[in-house]
Amino acid sequence: MSQPTIESILQEKRLFQPSNEFSQNAHIKSMADYQRFYDTAKANPEQFWANLAETELEWFQKWDTILDWQPPFAKWFVGGKINISYNCLDRHLTTWRKNKAALIWEGEPGDSRTLTYAQLHREVCQFANVLKQLGVQKGDRVGIYMPMIPEAAIAMLACARIGAPHSVVFGGFSAEALRDRLIDAQAKLVITADGGWRKDAIVPLKEQVDKALADGAVPSVENVLVVKRTGQETYMQLGGRDHWWHDLQKEVSADCPAEPMDSEDMLFVLYTSGSTGKPKGVVHTTAGYNLYTHITTKWIFDLQDTDVYWCTADVGWITGHSYIVYGPLSNGATTLMYEGAPRASNPGCFWDVIEKYGVNIFYTAPTAIRAFIKMGEQHPNGRNLSSLRLLGTVGEPINPEAWMWYHRVIGGERCPIVDTWWQTETGGIMITPLPGAISTKPGSATLPFPGIIADIVDLEGNSVPENEGGYLAVRHPWPGMMRTVYGDPERFRRTYWEHIPPKDGKYTYFAGDGARKDEDGYFWVMGRVDDVLNVSGHRLGTMEVESALVSHPAVAEAAVVGKPDDLKGEEVVAFITLEGTYQASEELSKELKQHVVKEIGAIARPGEIRFTDALPKTRSGKIMRRLLRNLASGQEVSGDTSTLEDRSVLDKLRQGT
């Protein structure tokens, strides 16, 4: 059950075809259909996207220019006016969907709520008026730090409605991590809850917000809005900073027309880890993102009007933004939101939810699938999962064994699986099967979505031959692409557009993943090639964890690497040298792990801390992480060690000192 290796997936020759029944009812019904879309789009990408923008979305005003590409800065549908909240809500109210369930929510303790399109629209309009009343204006950034409750989606849509870009921060991040992100985004207001349920315990979110804002650390924040979710006693600051959501929500009108936004107005900023210390604020804008998430949701999840669609991500990640909220709602779908997580006390909770609501489409992560395998087949086998017709996976490479288990135990050998490769930066899914058209191979994300010109290249930007490893790259801009790093356009250029040098004015997007293409043109994504770890499908920068560690007084130097892990994909291993007066101990090791949790959040907790006298470095002082990776996973140190400054460091590390 380990990560796929080149050897294991090269041997993967199984091919799974969708059933005739599935294909006949699908939006994209055959390989010939896919090929036609793909070829048309490749011949004229701009026209392809413009046609879809025209037919799939409602505009207040049509665009003048489809694409203004001044590499690496793209503008799509320039001159157009549109609002994504309008496309997700208002336009459905004049159809039969008005009283269709838009959002089905299941809380961890078993409480639940369903909001129809009309009800969701009303809540969003009211809350948009609450924001306005508190002085939030078009262009102001709003922080959202919420559990998985309907108000999280309502808050996002309300921000979009009035043109205030949101910045959702995952509720599992610590107060420190929240503070850094609020400062970078200069948020004017924060929306949170008293708490959320997580594995049978309350996560006190408002308390974290108070810590993040303490001592005027984030001067831009003027107000905090608090949803009452868990109901425990919660401190509310005197003097008007803090407000209960429900108090203000009842005082406002439900009339709030959607603001006509420019296509390129910022919709949100979402922070993600990179290979350097500070998380990047990934900026997405309005029209292109709306179109891209809309059409990918429709074709990849093959949405039909009666479907109940469930994506298990958290709204704090891009998957939650694109495939719980915006993509499904723009399509008028029923999207399910679940607050809980599989846990020892309720290992079958996901399957209960599927049975209870008759879920048809289920989208989750390989790390969750591996956890289910470990919990045992008896849990899914004991539930009725016959409503399922399509499965999806995202977040990391899926090993063929996990794929086969998902196919057999959850999919009953009848559901196609879409293994979807994409990133926070790409806005939506880029490489994926279209389930009625493309046959699947376990472990492969298969083929690029129509309009996406993906390739495997070397560092000069040349395509590499089939079945040879290289860097995953994209050759042409697409509507869902990130527009910039918030406040740092040069970092945007450096990180994504200069690893592969532009040639003859042509720019190539560097994704940071290693991959290869097989003889059928199928993509096999191997994982990150930079200093980014993937722990349980969450992205973590090694430098980010290192800076957290060195902020502890005992730590002189830290080097963080990933070690393959059966469940999480990768686990954090930290090599530490101590300041003079400190002694290595079990206790200190625990303290340092806890320190990382405090600085970043539980997702970054090192699985292992190794104390050492010195770290292996090159003569120019660069830590040789490659060697540490070998050591962490118990492998022999391979490759060139000639650049090592002091070979005895390596010998000592081998001996475990």
- Among residues 228, 300, 370, 283, the alpha carbon closest in space to that of 73 is found at 283
Q: Angle CA(90)–CA(96)–CA(97) in degrees, nearest 5?
A: 50
**Per-residue binding letters, 434-453, with ligand WT7 (x by CB under 6 A):** -----------x--------
Which one of 57-65, 95-103, 491-499, 525-533 is the stretch in contact with ligand WT7 (CB under 6 A)? 525-533
- For residues 241, 242, 245, 249, the Cα torsion angle rounded to the nearest 10 degrees is -40
The interface region with ligand WT7, picked from 130-138, 511-519, 570-578, 595-603 by CB under 6 A, is: 511-519
306 annotated binding-site participant? no
Among 436, 448, 477, 512, binds ligand WT7 (CB under 6 A): 512
Residues 302-341 close enough to bind ligand WT7 by CB under 6 A: 318-319
Place of tokens 């040639």: 503
Q: Which residue has the tokens 């027309």?
A: 257
Considering the rule CB under 6 A, would residue 125 count as an interface residue with ligand WT7?
no
Which of residues 397, 411, 436, 601 is near ligand WT7 by CB under 6 A? Answer: 397
CA distances 246 to 70, 127, 229, 584, 599, Å, are 46, 10, 11, 51, 32
Q: Is 168 among the annotated ligand-binding positions?
A: no
- Taking CB atoms, the residue at the shortest distance from ligand WT7 is 424
Q: Judged by CB under 6 A, which stretch of 87-95, 391-399, 477-485, 609-617 contacts ligand WT7?
A: 391-399
618 is annotated as contributing to ligand binding:
no
Given the complex with ligand WT7, which of 334 and 423 has the nearer CB atom?
A: 423
Residue type, 655: Q
Task: Give 80 or 428: the residue with its C-beta nearer to ligand WT7.
Answer: 428
Q: Between residues 282 and 409, which has the closer beta carbon with respect to ligand WT7?
A: 282
Does position 419 interact with ligand WT7 (CB under 6 A)? The reply is yes
Residue in 77, 268, 405, 421 binding ligand WT7, rule: CB under 6 A? 421
| 420 labeled binding residue | yes
The reply to whether 528 sits in an annotated binding site is yes
Q: How far apart are CA 289 and CA 365, in angstroms?
A: 23
In terms of Cα–Cα distance, which of 348, 342, 344 is closest to 380?
A: 348
Examine residue 396 and tell whether it contacts ligand WT7 (CB under 6 A): yes
151 touches ligand WT7 by CB under 6 A: no
> 201 among the known binding-site residues?
yes
- Which residue, 262 or 314, has its beta carbon nearer to ligand WT7? 314
The Cα–Cα gap between 135 and 387 comes to 46
Residue type at 248?
L
CB 281 within 8 A of CB 167: yes
How far apart are alpha carbons 418 and 432 in whole angstroms? 6
Strand order, beta sheet including 608-611: 555-565, 569-578, 608-611
For residues 249 and 272, which CB has a smaller minimum distance to ligand WT7 in the complex?
A: 272
DSSP conformation class of 331: T
Burial class, 578, CB count within 10 angstroms (exposed 0-12 / middle 13-18 / buried 19+): middle
63 is in an annotated binding site: no
- Per CB under 6 A, the segment of 125-133, 339-347, 393-401, 550-558 that binds ligand WT7 is 393-401
Positive or negative CA dihedral for 244, 143, 330, 534?
negative
Instruction: Please identify which residue in 193, 388, 525, 574 interacts with ligand WT7, judged by CB under 6 A.
Output: 525
State both tokens at 40. Answer: 């048309």
In three-state form (DSSP H/G/I as H, E/B as E, the rest C), the secondary structure along 178-215 is HHHHHHHHCCCEEEEECCEEECCEEECHHHHHHHHHHH
Q: Which is nearer to ligand WT7, 5 or 20 (CB)?
A: 5
- Residue 249 in contact with ligand WT7, rule: CB under 6 A: no
Q: Smallest distance from the beta carbon of 443 to ligand WT7, in angstroms?
A: 9
Strands 242-244 and 223-227 come out as: parallel
Contact flag: residue 492 with ligand WT7 (CB under 6 A): no
Residue 198 assigned ligand-binding role: yes
Residue with smaller CB distance to ligand WT7, 117 or 323: 323
Q: How far is the CB of 223 from ligand WT7 (least distance, A)?
A: 30
CB distance 560 to 546 below 8 Å? yes
Minimum distance between the CB of residue 323 and ligand WT7, rounded to whole angstroms?
Answer: 9
The reply to whether 552 sits in an annotated binding site is yes
Residue closer to ligand WT7, measured from CB, 320 or 380: 320
297 binds ligand WT7 (CB under 6 A): no
The C-alpha atoms of residue 516 and residue 526 are separated, in whole angstroms, by: 8
User: Is 522 a residue that touches ligand WT7 (CB under 6 A)?
Assistant: no
Options 23, 420, 508, 612; binder of ligand WT7; rule CB under 6 A: 420
CB of 397 to ligand WT7, least distance (A): 4
**Minimum distance between the CB of residue 634 and ligand WT7, rounded to whole angstroms?**
23
Q: Per-residue DSSP letters for 488-545?
A: -HHHHHHHHHSSS--BTTB--EEEEEEEEE-TT--EEEEEESSSEEEETTEEEEHHHH
d(Cα 11, Cα 435) in Å, to the nearest integer?
23
Largest Cα–Cα separation, the chain: 74
Closest CA to 482 of 403, 561, 425: 425
Smallest distance from ligand WT7 to CB 607, Å: 19
- Shortest reach from residue 472's CB to ligand WT7, in Å: 8
**Is 594 within any annotated ligand binding site?**
no
Identified binder of ligand WT7 from the candidate list 192, 367, 423, 484, rule CB under 6 A: 423
Query: Cβ atoms within 10 A of the Cβ of 603, count?
Result: 20
∠ CA 562-568-571 to the nearest 5 degrees?
Answer: 25
Q: Tell me the binding residues for CoA.
A: 198-201, 319, 536
Known binding residues: 198-201, 319, 395-397, 419-424, 513, 528, 536, 539, 550, 552, 555
Chain residues in the site for ligand WT7 (CB under 6 A): 272, 318-319, 394-397, 419-424, 445, 511-513, 525, 527-528, 534, 539
Residues comprising the binding site for ATP?
395-397, 419-424, 513, 528, 539
List, as residue ranges, the binding site for Mg(2+). 550, 552, 555
